[in-house]
């Protein structure tokens, strides 16, 4: 969030391009160039060049070591008729629409719980946070094991409650909820961000409301939630961007089966992009997909920022 | 006069009676509220805790216990007896003359060959199972199989290649170490220039830095892959993972710049007046004051490098170059599930991060608040 505000500030500044540089300014310029050298070289090599190259690839048919063939908009047109492309886009949207809000809501509630005055509060905080630092590969494998149909603990525990657990891994309707569950287990960092937001809500405001007879729910609804709304917006945007790029978990979660198993239900956008680019070696098509992804993310972010102006409260 | 006194006494009595009642109500309400919050925080806590416990328990289970249904919360292993110098598992066998504890020698096509530990010369044969009823059942006891850890670490993810999980562990450490060095060396001067040197074009360049934050890696990864693999021939080496770390990245530049800006400008100006060069101000004044933020960057770079799956997946192809992340995934993809060893290796993979967390808890939490970083 801070970086977005920073951009806003900087673009408001007036720049004077015609001003004559003094000796001091010129000297500073060259010192600045030297200090910036690591970033500048890296930017040209690892950001600008790949960006330009992938833009060119997206309009061509390209196999490495063979000359590039210009095909115009063909790659972009193919997407419209490519069934797997739409499947992967739908799978990704499913995660953006369901996983992001669910994770956000539950992590907010967890933060509320952790903010209560409870004995052993700091121990609970560690317990809630710890799963989020388990490496992705380890946590995904762990959940594959937990949701294992034969000897997994999940369905055994559900069985104790009298629930006949679904076939988490091989049923296409349950594979995405399984991944949401895995994501919720590791949402500790979102909880920490919310918790720090809750601690910043002025106690005086809450006490004043209590004296005026506001109950717990009213204080939460009319003070706490508006006060943490910038954090909600931040988490919403980062969560959305993360979900559009969702890859490693899905790649590992299929187990020994093919990418996207079961029945393409975990073929997310980035997974399909990986498959086209690095397995089928359709570099042009994959690059076009990457640009479409970039545009989707950009449009969604701008839309959210615009819409959120009405719902977000910035103190001060 | 007298009447007013009594009436005010009455009033006071009524008020205190009401106050006591309201206090009582509040106490009851507080009790239920606290009961509710304790219950909730514990229930939700179980969701976070149980997978951890299950990971640890599985990592010390014996092969016989891993697929036991229903799963057991403690690790079990066969009770063994020493018969003729051999450790044999003890079975509970239903014989014609009641059930007996016999040691199993082998099972051939459902027929078990047993021996009585009290009478080791005579071999007995029983079917393990008749229809659905089990005739012979192993006797198990709670036992932690620590041997899973060395067993898991000494095997590789693929048979016959020779690279073990120790090699993967070492590779992960090497990559994490050089990534941290590169990140610290390259990002600090850039962030310093953006925070403290007033040069023309600074703001435009900084906007470009921030803009690259919005760029999804999918857009650049394909040309980068071709560049590293086909042009530089760095495929299957650590270089594509390490070299970019030495050329600054937007996140760390931003994070460091925000911190450098909090260091009083007057200190730098005073040094400038005394004739210090920018490099001297940077290395002698700003860096020594920035230890907390450097710690944050170090911890988060370690987390990132240690966790990274996609980078190694793209660039590393032979098992002797695998990282822990890649090796674990490969282990699971190549073999029939050996869940106890897989979990043991996962524990080894996770432990360095948990240890780092307990040593630098504040740095972790501070870093998350600063960056709001995901993953």
**Is A291 an 8 Å CB contact of chain B?**
yes
d(CA B171, CA B327): 10
Mark which residues 106-165 of B lie under 8 Å from A by CB.
none
Backbone angles phi, psi at A36, to 5 degrees: -85, -10
Regarding whether A221 and A155 lie in a shared domain, the answer is yes
Nearest to A138 among B71, B201, B350 (CB): B350
Whichever domain contains A106, its CATH number is: 1.10.3720.10
The predicted-structure confidence for B211-262, as pLDDT tens digits, reads as follows 898 899 999 999 999 999 988 999 899 999 999 999 999 999 999 998 999 8
Which of B37, B310, B357 is facing A248, going by the closest CB pair?
A: B310
- Establish if A311 touches chain B: CB-CB under 8 angstroms: no
Q: Are residues A43 and A185 in the same domain?
A: no
Q: Which of residues 112-171 of A touch B (CB under 8 A)?
A: 113-114, 116, 118, 124, 126-128, 130-131, 133-139, 141-146, 148, 150-153, 156-157, 159
Q: Is residue A162 part of a domain?
A: yes
Report chain A residues whose CB lies below 8 A from the CB of B343: 141-142, 145
Same domain, A39 and A182: no
The answer to whether residue B6 scores a pLDDT higher than 70 is: no
pLDDT in tens, B89-126: 888 888 777 788 888 888 888 788 888 888 877 888 88
For residues A35 and A132, state if they share a domain: no
Range 246-285 of A in CB contact (< 8 A) with B: 247-248, 251-252, 255-256, 270, 273, 277-278, 283
pLDDT (0 to 100) of residue B363 = 85
Structural domain boundaries of chain B?
1-59, 80-138, 155-371
Does any domain span residue A102? yes
Q: Is the pLDDT assigned to residue B374 strictly greater than 60?
A: no
Q: Is residue A184 in some structural domain?
A: yes
Q: How many CB atoms lie within 10 A of CB A289?
A: 29
Q: Are A266 and A250 in contact (CB under 8 A)?
A: yes
* A202-220 per-position pLDDT tens digit: 999 999 998 998 888 899 9
Q: What digits encode the pLDDT tens for the residues A35-70? A: 999 999 999 999 999 999 999 999 999 876 778 889
* Whether A81 contacts chain B with CB within 8 A: no
Say how many residues make up chain A: 316
**Beta bridge partners of residue B112, listed in sequence order:** B107, B126
Same domain, A149 and A249: yes
Phi, psi of A300 (to 5 degrees): -60, -40
Same domain, yes or no: A88 and A44: no
- Does the distance separating the beta carbons of A114 and B41 come in below 8 Å? yes
Say if A56 falls within a structural domain. Answer: no
pLDDT higher than 70, residue A117: yes
Q: Which pairing describes strands B111-116 and B76-78: parallel, antiparallel, or unpaired?
A: unpaired
Report if residue A172 sits inside a domain.
yes
* A66 part of a folded domain: no
DSSP reduced 3-state for A12: helix
**In-domain check, residue A224:** yes
B145 to chain A nearest CA, in Å?
Answer: 19
Instruction: List the domain range (segments joined by +) for residue A44.
Output: 21-49
| Structure token pair of residue A276 | 């086209």
Q: What is the 3-state secondary structure (H, E, C) of A183-204?
A: HHHCCHHHHHHHHHHHHCCCHH
Which residues partner with B82 through β-bridges? B87
Q: pLDDT (tens digit, 9 = 90+) per residue, B28-77?
A: 988 888 898 899 999 999 999 999 999 999 999 998 888 887 888 899 98
Whether the per-residue pLDDT at B306 is higher than 90: the answer is yes
**Any idea what DSSP says for residue A13?**
S
For residues A39 and A172, state if they share a domain: no
Does the structural domain B155-371 have CATH classification 2.60.40.420?
no
Q: Tell whether A94 and A37 lie within a shared domain.
A: no
Is the domain of A39 the same as that of A99? no
Same domain, residue pair A191 and A272: yes
- Confirm if A284 and A71 have CB atoms less than 8 A apart: yes
Judge if A99 and A209 occupy the same domain. Answer: yes
Torsion of CA A203, A205, A207, A208, to 10 degrees: 160
**A76-85 average pLDDT score:** 94
- Closest CA relative to residue A104, chosen from A221, A235, A246, A242: A235
Whether the complex's predicted ipTM is more than 0.85 is answered with: yes
Q: Which of A134, A187, A185, A249 is nearest to B352 (CA)?
A: A134
How far is it, in rounded angstroms, from Cα A194 to Cα A231?
7
pLDDT at residue number A15:
63
Which chain A positions have a beta carbon within 8 Å of B260's beta carbon? Answer: none
Same domain, A237 and A299: yes
Give the total number of structural domains in chain A: 2
B48, B54, B333 ranked by CB distance to A146: nearest: B54
Per-residue pLDDT, averaged over B304-323, amounts to 93
B203 to chain A: closest CA residue: A10
Answer with the residue of higher pLDDT: B88 or A288.
A288
CB contact at 8 A, A118 and B37: yes
Please list every residue in chain B whose beta carbon sits closer than 8 Å to the beta carbon of residue A11. 207
Optimal mutation site among A20, A37, A61, A138, interface B, most CBs of chain B within 10 A: A138
Residue (of B108, B150, B148) closest to B128 by Cα position: B108
Is the pLDDT confidence value at B130 over 70?
yes
The answer to whether position A199 is within a domain reads yes
Q: Is pLDDT of B160 > 90?
A: no
Token pair recorded at residue B94: 């239903």
């Amino acid at each position: 969030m801070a970086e977005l505000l920073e951009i806003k500030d900087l673009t408001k500044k007036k720049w004077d391009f015609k001003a004559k540089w003094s000796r001091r300014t010129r000297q500073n310029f060259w010192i600045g160039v030297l200090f910036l050298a690591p970033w500048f070289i890296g930017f040209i090599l690892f950001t600008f060049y790949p960006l330009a190259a992938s833009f060119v690839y997206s309009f061509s048919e390209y196999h490495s070591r063979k000359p590039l063939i210009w095909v115009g908009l063909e790659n972009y047109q193919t997407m419209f008729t490519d069934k797997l492309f739409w499947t992967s886009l739908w799978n990704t949207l499913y995660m953006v629409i369901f996983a992001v809000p669910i994770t956000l809501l539950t992590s907010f509630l967890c933060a509320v719980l952790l903010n209560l005055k409870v004995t052993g509060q700091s121990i609970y905080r560690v317990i809630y946070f710890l799963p989020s630092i388990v490496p992705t590969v380890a946590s995904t494998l762990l959940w594959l094991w937990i949701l294992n149909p034969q000897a997994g603990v999940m369905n055994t525990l559900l069985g104790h409650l009298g629930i006949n657990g679904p076939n988490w891994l091989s049923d296409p309707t349950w594979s995405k909820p399984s991944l949401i569950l895995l994501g919720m287990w590791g949402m500790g960092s979102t909880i920490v961000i919310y918790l720090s937001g809750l601690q910043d809500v002025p106690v005086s405001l809450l006490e004043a409301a209590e004296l005026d007879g506001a109950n717990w729910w009213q204080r939460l609804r009319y003070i706490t939630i508006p006060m943490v709304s910038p954090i909600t917006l931040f988490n919403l945007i980062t969560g959305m961007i993360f979900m559009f790029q969702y890859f490693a978990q899905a790649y590992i979660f299929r187990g020994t089966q093919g990418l996207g198993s079961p029945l393409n239900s975990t073929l997310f956008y980035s997974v399909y992009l990986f498959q086209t680019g690095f397995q089928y070696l359709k570099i042009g098509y994959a690059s076009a997909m990457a640009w479409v992804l970039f545009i989707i993310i950009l449009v969604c972010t701008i839309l959210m920022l615009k819409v959120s102006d009405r719902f977000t409260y910035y103190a001060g | 006069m007298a009447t007013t006194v009594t009436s005010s006494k009455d009033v006071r009595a009524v008020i205190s009676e009401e106050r006591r009642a309201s206090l009582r109500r509040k106490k009851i309400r507080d009790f239920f509220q606290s009961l509710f919050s304790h219950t909730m925080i514990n229930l939700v806590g179980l969701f976070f805790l149980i997978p951890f416990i299950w990971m640890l328990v599985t990592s010390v289970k014996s092969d016989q216990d891993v697929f036991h249904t229903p799963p057991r919360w403690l690790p079990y292993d066969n009770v063994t007896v020493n018969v003729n110098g051999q450790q044999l598992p003890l079975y509970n066998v239903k014989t014609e003359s009641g059930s007996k504890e016999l040691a199993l020698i082998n099972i051939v096509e459902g027929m078990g060959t047993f021996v009585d530990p009290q009478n080791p010369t005579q071999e007995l044969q029983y079917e393990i199972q008749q229809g659905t009823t089990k005739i012979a059942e192993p006797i198990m006891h709670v036992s932690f199989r620590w041997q899973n850890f060395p067993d898991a670490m000494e095997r590789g993810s693929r048979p016959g290649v020779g690279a073990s999980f120790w090699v993967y562990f070492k590779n992960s450490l090497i990559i994490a170490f050089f990534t941290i060095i590169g990140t610290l060396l390259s990002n600090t001067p850039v962030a310093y220039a953006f925070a403290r040197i007033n040069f023309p074009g600074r703001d435009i360049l900084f906007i470009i830095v921030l803009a690259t934050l919005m760029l999804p890696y999918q857009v650049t990864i394909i040309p980068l892959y071709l560049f590293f693999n086909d042009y530089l021939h760095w495929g299957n080496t650590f270089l594509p993972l390490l070299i970019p770390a030495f050329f600054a990245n937007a996140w760390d530049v931003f994070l460091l710049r925000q911190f450098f800006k909090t260091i009083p400008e007057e200190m730098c100006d005073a040094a400038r007046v005394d004739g210090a060069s920018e490099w001297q101000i940077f290395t002698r004044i700003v860096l020594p004051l920035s230890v907390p933020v450097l710690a944050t960057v170090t911890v988060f770079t370690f987390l990132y490098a240690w966790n990274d799956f996609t980078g190694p997946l793209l660039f590393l192809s032979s098992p002797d170059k695998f990282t822990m992340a890649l090796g674990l995934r490969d282990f699971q993809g190549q073999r029939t599930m050996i869940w106890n060893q897989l979990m043991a290796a996962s524990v080894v993979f996770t432990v360095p991060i948990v240890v780092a967390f307990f040593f630098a808890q504040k740095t972790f939490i501070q870093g998350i608040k600063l960056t709001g970083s995901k993953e």
